Chains A and B, each alone.
Chain A
Amino acid sequence: MSAYGEFETMIREQRFLIEGLTEMGYRVEEHPEGAALIGYHGDERPERAEVIIRRAQLDSASNDIGFVREKDGRFRAIVSEYDRSIGYDDKWLGKVHQHYKEKQTLGMAQAKGYIFRGKEVVQTPNGPQIRLQFVVR
């Protein structure tokens, strides 16, 4: 044993955000210049985002969910109060981060030559945790 670290995940890489959301079952739109979010009346909202889950995939009274890139390079989720109240809340955003981090870790490891040895999903009272193991070539 030689080192240990704990890290707070920052969503910065769009392709891994898309991969994670896709694995969660969403069809995701990418808009390099940003596109308007649509509200539950079909109205165009003032918020714009680079990554969008359209409301048709959510609830009949949902608004679009967007992920907008901030000036520091991080993505911030735009979720309406209504959608937060029906389950697209912090717990859901935690799952988004979890899927993102898994994809980002696997992508980085492959690019840098680490050898992937396996994935295990560990059930805990707070929800599933993902364990990934690698070895050094």
Chain B
Amino acid sequence: MQQKTITVLIDETGNSSVDLDGFAGHGCEKVLKDFQGDDFAKVQRKKPVFYSQTSEGQGRQLKSGR
């Protein structure tokens, strides 16, 4: 299983970027929110793996429900 890592880069003005690796589905949203804290969000986006793993998970649920 891929390790879930969080990389925070704080630039010279004090603003930050947060990059999540190895997360699948909605678990990453809480983690991103933790690292955002009270800060103002300028950019937030899901990466392709988020969508592919989410849709794979949904597919499995549908199959097992039959």
**Is the pair A5, B17 in contact by a Cβ cutoff of 8 Å?**
yes
How many chain A residues touch B (Cβ–Cβ < 8 Å)? 42
Q: Which residues on B sit within 8 Å (CB–CB) of A98?
A: 10-14
The listed residue (B10, B19, B38, B43) touching A10 by CB distance below 8 A is: B38
**A70 at the B interface (CB under 8 A):** no
**Is the pair A8, B42 in contact by a Cβ cutoff of 8 Å?**
yes
The listed residue (B13, B21, B43) touching A5 by CB distance below 8 A is: B43
| Residues of B5-44 contacting chain A, CB below 8 A | 5-24, 28-29, 31-32, 34-44
Q: Which residues on B sit within 8 Å (CB–CB) of A122?
A: 9
**Is the pair A10, B40 in contact by a Cβ cutoff of 8 Å?**
yes
Q: Which residues on A sit within 8 Å (CB–CB) of B32?
A: 3, 5
**Bound: A94/B10 CA distance, A:** 10
**Bound: A133/B7 CA distance, A:** 5
**Is the pair A2, B6 in contact by a Cβ cutoff of 8 Å?**
no
- The 5 A-B pairs of least Cβ separation, nearest first, read A97-B14, A127-B12, A2-B23, A7-B39, A6-B43
**Interface positions of A (Cβ within 8 A of B):** 1-10, 12, 73, 91, 94-102, 104-105, 108-109, 112, 114, 117, 122, 124, 126-136
**Interface positions of B (Cβ within 8 A of A):** 3-24, 28-29, 31-32, 34-50, 53
